Amino acid sequence: MCGIVGYTGRQAAAAVEPSTRPLEVVMEGLRRLEYRGYDSAGVALVAPGFDQVAWAKKSGKLSNLAAVIDASPLPDATAAIGHTRWATHGGPTDLNAHPHLADDGRLAVIHNGIIENFAELKAELLDQGVTFLSETDTEVAAQLLARNYRSAGNLTEAMRITATMLRGTFTLLAVHTDNPHTVVGARHDSPLVVGIGEGENFLGSDVAAFIAYTKEAMELAQDQIVTITPDSIDIIDFTGARAEGKRYTVDWDANAAEKGGFSSFMDKEIHDQPQAVADTLRGRTDASGHIQLDEIRIDEALLRSVDKIIVIACGTAAYAGQVAKYAIEHWCRIPVEVELAHEFRYRDPIVDAQTLVVAISQSGETMDTLMAVRHAREQGAKVLSIVNAHGSTIPRESDAVLYTHAGPEIAVASTKAFLAQITAAYLLGMYLAQLRGNKFSDEIDALLRELRAIPEKVETVIQRGEYVKATARSMKQATSVLFLGRHVSYPVAMEGALKLKELAYIHAEGFAAGELKHGPIALIDEGQPVFVIVPSPRSRTGLHSKVVSNIQEVRARGAKTFVIAEDGDDTVVPYADEIFWIPQAPTLMQPLLAAIPLQIFAMELATVKGLDVDQPRNLAKSVTVE
Ligand code: F6R
């Protein structure tokens, strides 16, 4: 949700290299951050001798901004900031695009988040005769920063004072012509990381902003101000006290965030899935094969005494949590509730020290989930987060973290993170079952073997993707698609519907197949496409025959049926218009396979409709507003 990048470099200052470098660095950072928002983009540059900030901004995708800069090149610079926007206050227009300028054009500000008290601050500034050009809350911050700079005479101190006056969530970056080698940032409940270079330093919403230049990064804590110059990184907190950032090395390289020859990031990330599952499993057992989740620093005695688990997450991550519920309850005999994070803290949930809250998030920045984490901890619960993005906020604020090792997920629609989240949650379930004595070690071994067999099976499903794609191409005219699943495949059905909504802009709904007869079956008429995920005929849930009956029921009413079934399950053949076969797997492992044809179907349908697969309309990758 808004991508932010800042850069300052000594080479550029000394003009050792072409001193357009800050612009190039910032544009490259924006290219890699565009998945966070693509309503508009803009840059601001400063250099010694500038009496005004040089800037360019344009509504729409980054390519529009690049065209503007090509047509009217910007001057050489020493420091730069750049922004790609997901609109909140004010529509996605040129005027509302960031940067926003103040102090007679000598100061430029970019912002991620929402300033909740912007109306009152704006009224105050209007009273003082300040004029505003945009409808954004950001311009209020820019004007406030300018006012504070005039009184404090120091950009860092002005930023600190400004930060304490703002309510809401924000990352702010600023440059001022008086400080042509400096970028100042502030962080409150919104992401910001530092990239450490030699004779150059970076700021970014996440490490993708600077991964092309350095893998050395520094985490900032909440409520901190950071000032970078080519040779220094200074951090203070909102009280003005000095602070230290936590250094780390990013464990993926720039290529991991490239398409690598695939037509889209989503296509690449679908193909990354065998690796994502394998990497998430790797190194999580000791020499004798026991599950060892070293990262979990929660006291074992406490984990043994937990009497309830609440999973909090949003969207796809919440569906991963719903899948995990079936497994964890079955293995550990602990009740598991799965709650949408944004609903959780507003309903007075029953949470205490015996509750383990599991927060699942790819980005680690989803504001709804972060707020739910804070609420759970305030109530005395321990929070364990399952997160993909290292250095993000949710793990920092959790008692423990289990990282998924899916690598960077760039496409806005989540794919490999979903499989990695299920895998990590299953590891947690097995670990708890082992710790609490619900399963013997040979049972755990057997489960681990099942899980370790999954990457190869995922590969098989992906290889069969051409048939799914051909089917999707024949569905270009579809206006509504229903998805049915039962038991552990019910959340997968909802995930399939979500993928289709967000990518192909088609009405889609996922139902528990058993619920069909209680109402939704009224939706079925001639030609209605219905996907059905069929449990294994070997499943001890006994649901196979019931779901096969559900297929017959919808078909009898005219539905066109798309059946996902296990290899060799010939019972479904007479009732399926199309069949997407998946390898045989135990019941609880099936979601890791059944989700894939649904991802491929949605991706291909969006492609034939000429839609942007990686950056669907109105969306952003990490939702950092509530
Ligand atoms: C759907 C999708 C979203 C995210 C949700 C949570 O394809 O990507 O539904 O799953 O916004 O995001 P994270 O996992 O980053 O907390």
What is the total count of domains within the chain?
Answer: 3
Structural domain boundaries, residue 394: 259-452
Domain membership of residue 624 (yes or no) is no
pLDDT at 16: 44
123 lies in the same domain as 226: yes
d(CA 266, CA 415): 7
* Position 380 pLDDT exceeds 80: yes
Residue 254, φ and ψ in degrees, nearest 5:
-60, -35
Share of the chain above pLDDT 70, in %: 98
Q: State pLDDT tens for residues 104-127.
A: 999 999 999 888 898 999 999 999
Q: Which atom of ligand 1 is nearest to the CA of 623?
A: 11
71 lies in the same domain as 212: yes
Kindly report the three-state secondary structure assignment for every residue of 131-178: CCCCCCHHHHHHHHHHHHHHHHCCHHHHHHHHHHHCCEEEEEEEEECC
pLDDT at 69: 95
Cβ 598 vs Cβ 492: under 8 Å: yes
Q: Which atom of ligand 1 is nearest to the CA of 621?
A: 8
Q: Which atom of ligand 1 is nearest to the CA of 389?
A: 15
Quote the ligand 1 centre to 303 CA distance (angstroms). 28
**Half-sphere exposure at residue 254, Cβ-oriented, CA atoms within 13 angstroms:** 12
Which tokens is 447 given? 């489960």
144 lies in the same domain as 90: yes
Q: Which residue's CA lies nearest to atom 6 of ligand 1?
A: 314
Q: State pLDDT tens for residues 551-595.
A: 999 999 999 999 999 999 999 999 999 999 999 999 999 999 999
d(CA 210, CA 506): 36
Quick one: average pLDDT of 284-296?
A: 81
Query: What CATH number corresponds to the domain at position 592?
Result: 3.40.50.10490
Q: DSSP letters of 286-301?
A: -TTS-B--TT--S-HH
Determine the residue of 190, 316, 422 to mutate for testing ligand 1's pocket, defined as the one with the most ligand atoms within 8 A of the Cβ atom: 316
What residue spans of 505-590 are helical by DSSP H? 544-556
| Confidence at 607, pLDDT banded by 50, 70, 90 | very high
595 lies in the same domain as 493: yes
Asked if 2 is an active-site residue, the reply is yes
Q: Which of 412, 435, 452 is the last residue of a domain?
A: 452
Please give all residues whose beta carbon lies within 6 A of any atom in ligand 1, as ranges. 314-317, 361-363, 366, 369, 413-414, 498, 502, 622-623
Selected catalytic residue, list 57, 122, 325, 621: 621
Picking from 516, 608, 584, 603, the residue whose alpha carbon sits closest to that of residue 555 is 516
Selected catalytic residue, list 2, 58, 457, 499: 2
Domain membership of residue 618 (yes or no) is no
245 lies in the same domain as 275: no
**Residues 294, 300, 305, 310: what is their CA dihedral angle, to the nearest 10 degrees?**
-20
Question: Residue holding tokens 């040779």?
Answer: 231
Domain membership of residue 201 (yes or no) is yes
Asked if 621 is an active-site residue, the reply is yes
Quote the ligand 1 centre to 353 CA distance (angstroms). 28
Q: DSSP letters of 469-488?
A: HHHHHTTTT--EEEEEE-GG
For β-strands 3-9 and 224-229, DSSP reports them as unpaired
| Confidence at 66, pLDDT banded by 50, 70, 90 | very high
pLDDT at 12: 53
* Position 159 pLDDT exceeds 60: yes
266 lies in the same domain as 251: no
Domain membership of residue 619 (yes or no) is no
Q: Which of 231, 256, 281 is the last residue of a domain?
A: 256
What does pLDDT average to over the chain?
93
Cβ 155 vs Cβ 227: under 8 Å: yes
Kindly report the three-state secondary structure assignment for every residue of 410-471: CCCCCCHHHHHHHHHHHHHHHHHHHHCCCCCHHHHHHHHHHHHCHHHHHHHHHHCHHHHHHH
84 lies in the same domain as 177: yes
324 lies in the same domain as 226: no
Quick one: average pLDDT of 80-88?
A: 89
303 lies in the same domain as 274: yes
DSSP E strands in 190-231: the ranges are 193-196, 200-204, 216-219, 224-229
Name the residue with higher pLDDT: 36 or 303: 303
pLDDT at 19: 39
Cβ 528 vs Cβ 479: under 8 Å: no
pTM value is 0.85
| Confidence at 92, pLDDT banded by 50, 70, 90 | confident
SS3 content of the chain, % helix, strand, coil (to 5): 40, 25, 35
d(CA 356, CA 201): 39
Q: Which of 452, 475, 498 is the last residue of a domain?
A: 452
d(CA 294, CA 302): 16
236 lies in the same domain as 280: no
pLDDT at 15: 46
Question: Residue holding tokens 């390898």?
Answer: 583
